[in-house]
Structure 1
Amino acid sequence: MADAFYLPDPANPDRFVSTELTRGPWSPDAQHAGPPSALLGHVIERCEPRPGFQVGRVAVEILGPVPLEPLTVQTRMVRSGRSVELLEATLSSERGPVMQAKAWRLKVAEPALDLPSEFLPTGTRPLPTTTEPSGFPSEQKVGFHTGIEYRFTTGSFDESGPAVCWIRLKYPIVAGTVPSPLERALAAADSGNGVSAVLDWSKYLFINTDLTVTLHRQPVGEWVCLDAVTHPQPHGIGLAESALFDETGPIGRSTQTLLLAPR
């Protein structure tokens, strides 16, 4: 089995070979949206990087199923500025664009701002005490669920409703690199609708059409926690939202628009 979600193409720096670790739960031929979202974060951070800046928000649009095929990325600076920049990245297969992301990159205050402590984000989520992985409801032997670790502190894949789940990458997003905090956050955040599922996996689809992650600070460490809840609606459109944490406290939030449908 591969030791990374994507392998860089030595002949083309904009091309990445998808491995089996990217496979999602819905189809053996389609990727989970977590790895390609993280891949978009990977290339966005490398697009005209500037010291003293960090990404504050990434909005990913899922244009269609992402096949288990080589993918090509294109990045560009949409809007440059002294303190705020807007970047765009597009992920394409041979059939055309499959995902697109826009990211705001902001200048970090130096020195740090003297803000009233009562308005700063606080709170933690308990770390998992179990060392046993949480079983993922997938018929695929190898996929995204085998490339990461899930640890629930409340809820589980066998229970419906809100859940708190810690997620850690077992492999790098791109071979030969160390996952950045942004990559870890994007890879984990796309599981919000799965860990807080309210519908029977065997009877319904609840596929997200997008992923928006806003980080007010960069996560520290390998684990990212999702305090997730899904809001379904009978007309077939739902919302999944997650409060995001690392071991020291809150780092941001994520949302996903969901298509709900019978299988």
Structure 2
Amino acid sequence: MADVADLDDADELDGADELDDVPAEGFYERIDTGRFLASAYTRGPWDRGSQHAGPPAALLGRAVEERPDARDDMRIARITYEIVRPVPIGPLEITTSVLRAGRGTEVVEAALAPAGAAPVMLARALRIRVAGEPVPAVLPGPAVPPPAAVGRTPFFPVPWATGYHTAMETRFTEGTFVEPGPGTCWMRMRVPLIVGEETRPLDRVLIAADSGNGISAVLDFAKYVFINGDLTVHLHRHPVGEWACVEARTSVDAAGIGLADARLHDEEGPIGRSAQSLYVAPR
């Protein structure tokens, strides 16, 4: 859930204080091909001028899928993100390139950068060709209780009125944001990823997956930081529907290195896994 490589290095974006006063209809507004303007809904809980990593992860995943030369017979099976530095709230540019292309697989890289600056977040996706004829489906693991079975669960206290915490609806079937230990949380976007454009099921999964370490926090937010510098999402089934569920567990070693590991679900059952490497230290 943390969205910066080092919180101490996070600089507030000029004008970030005014973002709460600007009405927003989505996480991003498309300015032009490959260019976007982030809204206050992307703001993470730790720094007023920086984004939660969930929205830019979804935006990069969308860029991989919608690039002009993307093959229709392939879909993302794995996507790994490197969070190089805090993602600022403001104008952003995305570039994509194909690193390897084959008959059955391809590897695509996408980079997210503030206008005219070095990339702040990188994504490398493995896309696999969909079988021409159906193969036997084997879906491991039981489904979790549906979101309709539980009520809305509030986020932990955040010091600003508008951000990722207000743009996402959350419903826990196990644990809470303020209860240490494993957690299972259904999440649904309350606004589109891009203003005026249809939100896709893949957007809904990628925007939620980075919340695993917050959902399964095992240490006190007030006493420790547990920041992820990466995120990897594996999908064996293409997601469907409005809801994505993150069933997360966190492990921390005394050396200050942790792992947030999660099973991902939609309302039809398991769809894959996500993992975050964690830097853990006293505040």
TM-score (normalised: structure 1): 0.94
- Which shifted more, 246-255 or 122-131? 122-131
> Is the Cα–Cα contact under 8 Å of residues 51 and 86 in structure 2 kept in the other structure?
yes
Amino acid corresponding to residue 211 of structure 1 in structure 2: L
1:92 aligns with 2:128: no
1:148 aligns with 2:168: yes
Aligned to 1:200: 220
Question: What does residue range 55-94 of structure 1 map to in structure 2 within 5 Å?
Answer: 55-94=76-115
> Is the Cα–Cα contact under 8 Å of residues 152 and 172 in structure 2 kept in the other structure?
no
> Is the Cα–Cα contact under 8 Å of residues 134 and 152 in structure 1 kept in the other structure?
no
1:39 aligns with 2:59: yes
1:26 aligns with 2:46: yes
Aligned to 2:142: 123
Q: RMSD of the TM alignment (CA)?
A: 1.3
- Which shifted more, 171-180 or 186-195? 171-180
> Is the Cα–Cα contact under 8 Å of residues 139 and 270 in structure 2 kept in the other structure?
no
Aligned to 2:19: none
Measure, in 2, the Cα distance between the counterparts of 1:215 and 1:132. Answer: 26
Measure, in 2, the Cα distance between the counterparts of 1:72 and 1:214. Answer: 25
Measure, in 2, the Cα distance between the counterparts of 1:2 and 1:143. Answer: 11
1:231 aligns with 2:275: no
- Which shifted more, 136-145 or 100-109? 136-145
Amino acid corresponding to residue 123 of structure 2 in structure 1: A
Per-residue CA distance 1:6-40 (angstroms, 9 max, x = gap)? 1111xx31111010000001111110000000010
TM-score (normalised: structure 2): 0.88
Question: What does residue range 1-16 of structure 1 map to in structure 2 within 5 Å?
Answer: 1-9=23-31, 12-16=32-36
1:218 aligns with 2:222: no
Measure, in 1, the Cα distance between the counterparts of 2:280 and 2:102. Answer: 40
Q: How many percent of aligned residue pairs carry the same amino acid?
A: 48
1:188 aligns with 2:208: yes
Measure, in 2, the Cα distance between the counterparts of 1:114 and 1:212. Answer: 26
Structure 2: gaps of 5 or more residues? 1-22
**Count of residues paired in the alignment:** 258
